[in-house]
């Protein structure tokens, strides 16, 4: 994970989960276990991030927003008229006959 200002590469809740599971794996690794104090520090930081996400959710609810980059729920850009699905190299259009 990069230490950069907020951008499209900003860490997400999925990144946080990956780090937490990596810490859990480190604790259970019998050959090179993670120190308990370090695991506690990871858990404390994770809890702080989770609490900030809870605040973010409340702000979204109150402001009528639709999501956030961190939570991974931003609304996609609107599609062109008649387009029902678009991915790199693929466009699906819905055609309607008049009448």
Q: What is the pTM of this model?
A: 0.49
Print pLDDT tens along the chain (99 aa): 444 444 457 787 778 888 888 887 888 888 888 888 888 888 888 888 888 888 878 877 777 776 676 676 555 566 677 776 667 777 777 777 776
Query: Which residue carries 């729920």 as its tokens?
Result: 73
* Number of continuous H segments (helices) and E segments (strands) in the chain: 2, 2
CA dist 91 and 19 (Å) reads 36
Q: Determine contact, residues 29/15, Cβ cutoff 8 Å.
A: no
pLDDT attached to residue 3:
46
* pLDDT computed for residue 2 by the predictor: 47
């Amino acid at each position: 994970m990069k230490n950069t200002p907020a951008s499209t590469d900003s860490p997400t809740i999925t990144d946080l989960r990956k780090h937490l599971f990596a810490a859990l794996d480190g604790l259970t690794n019998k050959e090179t276990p993670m120190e308990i104090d370090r695991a506690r520090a990871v858990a404390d930081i994770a809890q702080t991030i989770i609490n900030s996400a809870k605040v973010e959710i409340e702000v979204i609810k109150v402001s009528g927003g639709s999501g956030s980059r961190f939570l991974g729920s931003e609304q996609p850009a609107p599609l062109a008229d008649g387009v029902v699905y678009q991915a790199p190299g693929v466009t699906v259009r819905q055609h309607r006959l008049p009448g």
